[in-house]
Structure 1
């Protein structure tokens, strides 16, 4: 997609909703606001987390935050045929090596890889085994973890 550079993982997209969000994440989200997107499986993770929460102030606050995210012109990329094929190949390769990454992580990695995007996540180790996947960790000061798969 033209102009997009970064796919935000769940932990990055949800960081601003925390009581004390990481300053590095907030700074980079503002700096790259026209270059970021999310993916349908990430929204599923957020919605699923909300559905499992007990009714209360925190759930209401997170629900409002998610509604704001969805109203913002943030592109939400689908898990399409190209991503499904990439995911199947990588899943087979990793399984043959004795690795079984979570299915949703594979979907997220596939969407980033097939759209030539850098996946921004705090959990770079969860995605490090995927081939041809660029990773960045925006938590902490600028210039922290970067991984080219």
Structure 2
């Protein structure tokens, strides 16, 4: 059963030249409790396909298919998430804050599935109500 929803930067961490060992350890420790959002999946694929055909792109594509898609549940941005997101987006807009659309969608998928959102960018999700967020570098 999923407990954590991974943001793009967490899923990308193993591809870095020198990945953060704390993040890698947490990914291993919770490997059976991980999910991500379809919005994150799009960001990952888009990032991959922006590379020209190369060994690097092939390695990223293989990682996404053989590791990510094979072992991490991809949750949809559905009607329930859209409603939560609309309410939060309106509330934040009235307060003068306009978080990026994709961040709101990711937050909505995490919140409506009662998952902890794991990200390296805590500030991207600051202000969303009742959203649990963790940075696994700490």
Verify same fold: TM over 0.5.
yes
Gaps of 5+ in 1: 145-149
Instruction: Give 1:147's aligned residue.
Output: none
2:31 is paired with a residue whose SS is coil
1:37 is paired with a residue whose SS is strand
Runs of 4+ in 1 over 4 A off after TM superposition: none
> How many correspondences in the alignment?
138
Instruction: Give 2:52's aligned residue.
Output: 54
Instruction: Give 2:37's aligned residue.
Output: 39
Instruction: Give 1:112's aligned residue.
Output: 110
TM-score (norm 2): 0.95
Higher helix proportion (structure 1 or 2) = 2
1:72 is paired with a residue whose SS is helix
Offset, 1:73: 3.0
1:34 is paired with a residue whose SS is helix
Instruction: Give 1:63's aligned residue.
Output: 61
- In the TM superposition, 1:70-89 aligns within 5 A as 70-89=68-87
Gaps of 5+ in 2: none
